[in-house]
Amino acid sequence: MSKEKTYLVTGGAGFIGSNYIKFLFETYPEVKVVNLDKLTYAGNPENLKSVENRSGYYFVKGDICDRVLVADVFRKYSPDYVINFAAESHVDRSIGDPDDFIKTDIYGVYSLLENCRKYGIERFVQISTDEVYGSIDKGSFSETDTFNPSSPYAASKTGGDRLAFSYFVTYDLPVVITRASNNYGPNQYPEKLIPLFITNAMDDKKLPLYGDGKNVRDWLYVEDHCKGVEYVLQNGKNGEAYNIAGNCEKQNIEITKKILELTGQSDKLIEYVKDRAGHDRRYSLDDSKIAKLGWQPEYDFEEAMRKTVQWYQENEEWWRKIKSGEYLEYYKEHYGQDL
Ligand code: NAD
Ligand code: DAU
């Protein structure tokens, strides 16, 4: 397929976006990828070291909310596909200060959609999340279920999700939407449960488990997610949303114990701490729609967790720079401004 296509990937310096860009180059060596990223605290050019000098890769530092800058990118590169990963993504930060979440996760989506409408594209993929449905005690959410977001993060992602849909309905823009479960794997910022706990365990530090540790998340290996997004881009139907599940539900305490086992640490590192405000109890997705389309996750949890722990063990320099604050200095040196 699309070896001459140009992909505009927004938020491509973050966790999932950088994995997706590397996946694209492995899959389509001739592809052109424009990465538009603001480089917030979560964006890290080191995630893309292996592709930054190859032909077909173009990096633009900029904010998706900046409609003039986004228009320049469209005029210069004429993307065929836009895949919007750019977002403020961490629930705890959204509880502390929702401002940037509202801007990027809602207005940023609008700015991209307006430019898509003006310049024309073949497909716009809005990377939404399972958090738009909220918590479910029993059973699983399907794509037509009601939205019930709990955090400012989830609510702003719901805004972006619906805005994208409205551009399909109102302007016939070729939009598809994906809603995935919790991702894990290489290059995930060590504020999220799995990389935080792996790196803390490696340093003999406590693992702060919220509440009773029995909240349930469905875990999806990032490589599977990237393949799922690409599958929907190529095979999905305009105006449709697709759940992308890992089919691997675990309580947080189970994840914690697995990390302790794989890092050779004891349960003594577990520290139960105050619960997250508005903490959703359980996420669960019905993925029969994407399964019917022909896609399912390939990784087994045990294997993917081993790979993930091994990656953080072999890439200490990457996460130590972030955790120590050294990355902030590097950023200032390279970009002449503070994060
Ligand atoms: P991340 O926080 O690691 O990366 C986000 C990236 O977006 C960063 O590179 C950041 O610099 C960039 N960015 C932020 N604001 C921007 C702006 N205004 N303009 C341009 N770039 C901006 O996030 P992630 O975990 O890789 O998540 C990527 C996407 O996937 C998000 O939309 C998120 O909502 C969605 N998602 C994440 C998960 C998960 O488990 N991580 C699951 C489902 C969906
Ligand atoms: O479900 C998809 C979502 O998954 C994405 O849309 C979000 O971008 C992503 O951040 C993630 O949100 P969560 O809040 O589920 O992920 P997080 O890693 O922050 O937390 C996972 C679970 O672990 C959650 O129940 C809270 C708990 N937790 C988290 C941290 C950081 C702890 O118990 N202790 C912690 O220190």
CA of 192 to the centre of ligand 2 (A): 6
Residues 6+ apart with CB under 8 A from 170: none
Handedness of CA 10, 15, 19, 22 (dihedral sign): positive
Burial class (CB in 10 A: 0-12, 13-18, 19+), 27: middle
Task: Please name which ligand lies nearest the alpha carbon of 207.
Answer: 2
Ligand 2 neighbour 127 (Cβ under 6 A): no
Write the pLDDT tens digit of every residue in 108-127: 999 999 999 999 999 999 99
CA of 183 to the centre of ligand 1 (A): 11
Write the pLDDT tens digit of every residue in 209-239: 999 999 999 999 999 999 999 999 999 999 9
Domain ranges of the chain: 6-335
Nearest-5° Cα angle at 33, 45 to 295 = 100
CA of 89 to the centre of ligand 1 (A): 5
Residue 318 CA: distances (Å) to CA of 59, 67, 94, 121: 20, 33, 25, 36
How many Å apart are CA 111 and CA 68, to the nearest integer? 9
Question: Is a pLDDT exceeding 50 seen at residue 142?
Answer: yes
Write the pLDDT tens digit of every residue in 267-326: 999 999 999 999 999 999 999 999 999 999 999 999 999 999 999 999 999 999 999 987
Ligand 1 neighbour 45 (Cβ under 6 A): no
Active site (catalytic) residues: 130-131, 153
Q: DSSP secondary-structure letter at 107? A: I
Bridge-based pairing state of the strands 175-180 and 216-221: unpaired
Question: Quick check: helix, strand or coil at residue 243?
Answer: strand
Residue 147 CA: distances (Å) to CA of 9, 58, 163, 179, 225: 26, 36, 14, 12, 22
Ligand 1 neighbour 17 (Cβ under 6 A): yes
- Amino acid 282 reads R
Ligand 2 neighbour 40 (Cβ under 6 A): no
| Domain 6-335 top-level CATH class | alpha beta
Residue 219: phi and psi, rounded to 5, are -100, 130
How many Å apart are CA 155 and CA 132, to the nearest integer? 7
Ligand 2 neighbour 94 (Cβ under 6 A): no
Q: Output helix, strand, coil percentages for the chain, rounded to the nearest 5.
A: 45, 20, 35
Write the pLDDT tens digit of every residue in 7-38: 999 999 999 999 999 999 999 999 999 999 99
